Chain A
């Protein structure tokens, strides 16, 4: 069964450093998402991406964050200058189509645990 993959599974970085989190969505999917979950808290939406541009972003997704689809398979989240409060689990998700009926089902990757020290 096709699945969303994410690398690395765990990233440790020092405050102020740049990190890039990588995701490979399911191949025929067109919508891509990033969510984050601070330990013990709920999953929060960061950004959605369609047709090579951001569809929507949350207030968390400030200028320190950016997303990119550098090729036909990868979808990346970059944090330019990490802060301690960026420590969280970051989930990538993808969904199949643009219509509501198909787009609603989002398939999640296993997550990348980001630890900022």
Chain B
């Protein structure tokens, strides 16, 4: 079984600034994938970024990047040049093939100040 922990319930960032959202996870599997999902007020789940555990290089998608620390089981999301549209709930999630499901953290509410 795996667990995903997001200990910060809320964060706020000034528009155009950078913010980092924290996530830790635990799994006994050697092959797994990590994700950040964005959930705006519409409640649609939108994939932001993915990281394969076997890859050492941190994933990057435009303004979004991760800091993947495998030994520490840490997977933080960095949002650069924050925009008002980034305001949403962000969920960290882990997937392993062993049980074919995504395990989500509790989420963090990000607000962006104009």
Range, interface on chain A: 20 to 34
Q: Which of A15-23, A64-72, A101-109 contacts B (4 or more CB under 8 A)?
A: A101-109
- A-B contacts, CB under 8 A, total: 57
Q: Quick one: which of A85-117 are within 8 Å of B by CB?
A: 89, 91, 93, 100, 103-108, 110-111, 113
On whether the beta carbons of B95 and A45 are closer than 8 Å, the reply is no
A75 at the interface (CB under 8 A from B): no
Give the secondary structure class of A's interface: strand
Within 8 A of B (CB), among A42-72: 42-45, 48, 50, 55-56, 58
Q: Complex formed: what's the CA distance from A92 to B14 in Å? A: 34
Give Cα A100 to B91, complex, Å. 21
B44 at the interface (CB under 8 A from A): yes
Residue in B46, B50, B100, B106 whose Cβ sees the most chain A Cβ within 10 Å = B100
Interface, chain B (partner A; CB < 8 A): 31, 33, 37, 42-47, 50, 91, 93, 95, 97, 99-107
Residues of A within 8 A of B (CB): 31, 33, 35, 37, 41-45, 48, 50, 55-56, 58, 89, 91, 93, 100, 103-108, 110-111, 113
